[in-house]
């Protein structure tokens, strides 16, 4: 599905300074990927999850583009990227798109910032390109096998019901704007998160991300997730920061404990925040990341 980006940009313009960016487009061969490329300096690559898009990272883009180059893709099927209806929305394919984009942009070194599904996508790219990774900031995410499955996510995986709920009624993205923060989101911000997901066709990736969660050997993304998990060893000798929203019902503190098991040297900062921790504690998270980047000269 090719987007009417003019219409979407007009709606985003109504949000004023919340998303004051001029995006660019990269042809993945399967559809056009929208991305932000802001500022100059050491590269920060920010990788979003489901059901968000580059809008999730807007505060950090504005905060760091004065002294960093910030690259923020919208995964195919998400945000302002095309939403092909006949493409395989798998972990491996998303990581390949990210790799192709960063190669196209000439990125030789970067610090990776990840959230939600971005943890697996970004770290699969990192596992395949360890020499290009300076460090990691992982917030409320996973990049390893886990048996944990919050019941609302499991409900959305039920055949037919899940597809109808997510693609027909936008239940996943709509519910996320009301259950992922401690403080209620302002109406304009809720609208910003939902703008790219207005129709059955536009919600294909939102549904496919849920379907693609690998639970056991034989699942289509199980091998890719194993590769991602093995690649975490590279961070034992690199700076890692874990800013974590402790009130997250999805990526709960048990996921944080798993990160600490894999990377016991990681710097940890806990926040009274939900899954969308940038909305609950944006200034505090920004300050934490700024201190980390400065400390490690990233």
Do 43 and 107 form a contact (C-beta atoms < 8 A)? yes
Mean pLDDT of the residues in the chain: 96
What value does the mean pLDDT take over residues 143-155? 90
**Using the 8-state DSSP alphabet, how is residue 75 labeled?**
P
Provide the whole-model pTM: 0.97
In the prediction, which pLDDT does 180 show? 97
**Alpha carbon 162 to chain centroid, angstroms:** 21
What value does the mean pLDDT take over residues 37-65? 98
- Which residue is it, tokens 């910030």? 70
2: confidence class by pLDDT, cuts 50, 70, 90:
low
Q: Domains of the chain (ranges plus CATH)?
A: 5-295 (3.40.50.1820)
Q: What is the pLDDT of residues 70-123, one digit of tens each?
A: 999 999 999 999 999 999 999 999 999 999 999 999 999 999 999 999 999 999
16: confidence class by pLDDT, cuts 50, 70, 90:
confident
In the prediction, which pLDDT does 13 show? 83
What value does the mean pLDDT take over residues 158-177? 95
Q: Enter the tokens of residue 181.
A: 């923060």
Do 19 and 94 form a contact (C-beta atoms < 8 A)? no
What value does the mean pLDDT take over residues 260-274? 98
For the chain, percent of residues with pLDDT exceeding 70: 99
Q: What is the pLDDT of residues 239-248, one digit of tens each?
A: 999 999 999 9
In the prediction, which pLDDT does 158 show? 94
**Using the 8-state DSSP alphabet, how is residue 168 labeled?**
I
Q: What is the pLDDT of residues 46-59, one digit of tens each?
A: 999 999 999 999 99
pLDDT at 151 over 90: no
pLDDT at 167 over 80: yes
For the chain, percent of residues with pLDDT exceeding 90: 91
pLDDT at 266 over 70: yes
Q: What is the dihedral of CA 6, 26, 73, 212, to 10 degrees?
A: 100
SS3 state of residue 95: helix
Distance CA 194, CA 180 (A): 14
SS3 content of the chain, % helix, strand, coil (to 5): 45, 15, 40
In the prediction, which pLDDT does 173 show? 97
Do 76 and 31 form a contact (C-beta atoms < 8 A)? yes
């Amino acid at each position: 599905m090719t987007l009417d980006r003019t219409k979407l940009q007009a709606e985003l313009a109504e949000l004023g300074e919340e998303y004051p960016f001029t995006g660019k487009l990269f042809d993945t061969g399967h559809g056009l990927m929208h991305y932000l490329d802001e500022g100059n300096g050491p590269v920060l690559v920010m990788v979003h999850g489901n059901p968000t898009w580059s809008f999730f990272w807007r505060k950090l883009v504005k905060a760091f583009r004065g002294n960093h180059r910030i690259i923020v893709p919208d995964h195919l099927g998400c945000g302002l990227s095309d939403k092909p209806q006949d493409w395989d929305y798998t972990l491996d394919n998303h990581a390949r798109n990210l790799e192709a984009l960063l190669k196209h942009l000439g990125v030789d070194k970067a610090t990776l910032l990840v959230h939600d599904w971005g943890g697996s996508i970004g770290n699969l790219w990192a596992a395949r390109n360890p020499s290009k990774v300076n460090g990691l900031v992982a917030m409320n995410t996973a990049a390893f096998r886990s048996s944990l499955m919050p019941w609302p996510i499991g409900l959305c995986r039920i055949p037919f019901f899940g597809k109808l709920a997510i693609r027909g009624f936008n239940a996943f993205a709509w519910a996320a704007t009301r259950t992922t923060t401690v403080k209620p989101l302002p109406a304009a911000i809720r609208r910003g998160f939902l703008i790219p997901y207005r129709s059955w066709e536009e919600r294909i990736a939102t549904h496919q991300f849920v379907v693609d969660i690998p639970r056991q050997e034989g699942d289509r993304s199980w091998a890719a997730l194993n590769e991602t998990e093995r690649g975490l060893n590279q961070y034992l000798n690199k700076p890692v920061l874990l800013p974590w929203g402790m009130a997250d019902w999805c990526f709960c503190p048990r996921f944080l404990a798993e990160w600490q098991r894999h990377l016991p040297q990681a710097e940890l900062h806990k926040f009274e925040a939900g899954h969308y921790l940038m909305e609950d504690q944006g200034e505090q998270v920004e300050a934490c990341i700024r201190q980390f980047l400065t400390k490690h000269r990233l």
